[in-house]
Amino acid sequence: MAVFEHTYRNYAGPLTPEWSRFLIIPRHAFRDVFKSKLFTAFFALCFIPLLVEAVMIYLHHNVNALGVLQVNIRELIPIDATFFQTFVNLQSGFAFFVTLLVGPPLVSRDLRNNALPLYLCRPFSRTEYVAGKMAVVLLLLSLMTWIPQLLLFLFQSYLEGARWMIDNLWIASAIFIGSVVWILLLALLSQAISALVKWRVVASGVLLGLFFIPSVFGEIVNQLFRTRWGNLISLGALMRTVTAGLFGTFQATTTFVTDFDGQVVRRVLSEPPLWCSWLVLFFVCALCLAILSAKVKAYEVVK
Amino acid sequence: MATAAAIPTAPAIQDRRNFAPVVDLDGLSVTFGGRPILKELRGELRGRAIGLLGPNGAGKTTLIHTLLGFHSPSSGTAHIFGKDIITDAKQIRALIGYMPERDAFIAKMSAVHLVRLMAELSGLPPEAALERAHEALFYVGLGEARYRGVDTYSLGMKQLAKLAQAIVHGPKLIFLDEPTNGLDPPARARMIRLIREIRDSGQANIVLSSHLLRDVEECCEEILILKDGRIVTYCNLEEERKANRKFLVLETRGDQTKFAEAVSALGCEYALTGDHRVKIVLQEGIEVRDLYRIAADQQMQIRRLSYKRDSLEDIFLKAMENSHGGF
């Protein structure tokens, strides 16, 4: 119907499937996010390490290029679990900064302007709303973490051969699980903070503080007690531990308790066990979900 | 004290018994922190345009929010077009449009973008959503300003944008919560005209919550008056007016006393209000021409005669006075 026919009428056309409606939010959000040239430039910058990774994999298998460069890159940088882990950690850092820019305003902007009743008065649940908002962060971060990393894994497999791929399939699963856990944590934290703090700048500050302030305290605990249990309050350290566990590079360090004569009395585990790190991450995610469940409501009831 | 308010049945409502009620309240109660807000509401609302009236804190907004599924009933339930608000919440919300009382928009988003997003969330495909977003904005009168950010709009424009997002998906029932709040007289008139147009299109039922009696009087056929979380009146406005006794105000010249005595002899109540005015309550079977006849007999002139029917304000005040605890 043309716009000049100004009468009220019902809609009788086809409807989109219910399951797909949460994806409407990221579709509209991406349009806003990429309006900023600064963000677009930064997002493009995040792919540079991946480009370097691709070049290194390529050089690793290009004998002519290695001859020209006169370096034995095969021995210098072997393509193994540590190689992929390094780049996963690097991309995780970039993912954190992308989250800082994109995550905080997603829910807070709606809360500040009372937009939630507009969403929730439609056939659109609170779960779909949260899923939609999280999808904005998850899709963006997936594009710069596990998706290109897995493509590079396939590239390496293509160059190295099917045998290498079968032998190292666990690396692919480590890339996927490690990245997904990290971006899920970032998405949940940024949405929970966004739901608690209505101002974007403050929300970004809180997210930044949440990663760095506990890290400082954790390090103080580590230094004071000559342990590494302080890592349990540092989200960054937790993720590094979990990633190391997935890539098989986790080492449980121990210290020796000695008496005044220097005799070893007993050996203690200075590093928290791997399951502790997983447990803390699980707890943080559960806490974020609880916050979102409490705050994402059409109207807050004053009791 | 009664626990549930019985709804008086107006004659016009009887005519619509064959149709499913728009809203069927079935002992609906809502409690916040142990404090009852809605108390066992019962009744069937069937009007094309239903006005929700009541003093502040009566539970009007809470009733709308509960019907929308924002609050869970503590007991009882309600049905909208026969669907349960607890078990079929999503299906119900597909049929509903809602214009909230407070400012509600998404910052840095143009009106057309906002309304399109809301249409898509209601299930419309992107192309249809965009087309209807334009239509809805033209319909409410924001056609020229549709590419501007909603946060830059004036209060009146924001109200219109809220109406546009409420109707963009063509709902069958529209909840309007204080739609004329903060509007200047021309903007209010425009809003009232739009609401009446939607009502008269016959494509949607309207539930209008307002504390402004004039708005409800101009838009609604039926009214539901709430007080302290209870229904004190549900009636058809026109039928209620007709059912009320007719007051006549006469401006006269001549001896009023004899005229009044003659009218009283017919069984009509009267009051002499000075300034040559007489107020008369007509009894059944007494016509206006009888008054003219008496006036002629008493050699008195009737210069002016006007009916004074109960206004919505009278109905509202009566409902408040008759409810428990007084007004």
ipTM of the complex: 0.84
Instruction: Identify which of A10, A32, A123 has the shortest CB distance to residue B172.
Output: A10
Band (B100; pLDDT cuts 50, 70, 90): very high
Chain B CA closest to residue A107: B106
Instruction: Identify which of A10, A11, A114 has the shortest CB distance to residue B100.
Output: A114
Is residue A302 a part of any domain in this protein? no
Q: What's the domain count of chain A?
A: 1
Q: Which of residues 18-77 of B touch A (CB under 8 A)?
A: 32-35, 65, 68-71
For B11-241, CATH gives: 3.40.50.300
Residue B90 and residue A18: Cβ atoms within 8 Å? yes
Q: What angle (nearest 5°) sits at the alpha carbon of residue A238, between those of residues A235 and A241?
A: 155
- The answer on pLDDT for B158 being more than 80 is yes
Q: Is B143 on the interface with A (CB under 8 A)?
A: yes
Given CATH 3.30.70.120, say whether it is the number of domain B245-308: yes
Residue A11 and residue B128: Cβ atoms within 8 Å? yes
Is residue A96 a part of any domain in this protein? yes
Beta-carbon pairs below 8 A across chains A and B: 132
Cα dist from A125 to A65, A121, B184, B209, B294, whole Å = 56, 9, 36, 25, 70
Instruction: Identify which of B103, B132, B170 has the shortest CB distance to residue A113.
Output: B103
Q: Show the domain range for A74.
A: 19-295
Residue A113 and residue B105: Cβ atoms within 8 Å? yes
Is residue A243 a part of any domain in this protein? yes
Q: Which of residues 254-293 of B touch A (CB under 8 A)?
A: none
Residue B139 and residue A303: Cβ atoms within 8 Å? no
Residue B1 confidence (pLDDT): 32
Q: B266: which 2 tokens?
A: 């017919």
Q: Is B135 on the interface with A (CB under 8 A)?
A: yes
Is residue A49 a part of any domain in this protein? yes
Residue A292 confidence (pLDDT): 95
Name the more confident of B273 and B127.
B127
Residue A3 and residue B102: Cβ atoms within 8 Å? no
Residue B139 and residue A302: Cβ atoms within 8 Å? no
Buried-state track A8-36, b at ≥16 Cβ within 10 A, e below 16 = beebeeeebeeeebbebbbebbeebbeee
Q: A185: which 2 tokens?
A: 């944590």
Q: Is A115 on the interface with B (CB under 8 A)?
A: yes
Residue A2 confidence (pLDDT): 47
**pTM of structure:** 0.83
> Measured between beta carbons, which residues in chain A are less than 8 angstroms from residue B170?
8-12
Residue A10 and residue B203: Cβ atoms within 8 Å? yes
Residue B323 confidence (pLDDT): 61
Is residue A38 a part of any domain in this protein? yes
Residue B9 confidence (pLDDT): 44
CATH 3.40.50.300 placement within chain B: 11-241
Chain B CA closest to residue A122: B93
Is residue A9 a part of any domain in this protein? no
pLDDT tens, position by position, A159-213: 988 899 999 999 999 999 999 999 999 999 999 999 999 888 899 999 999 999 9
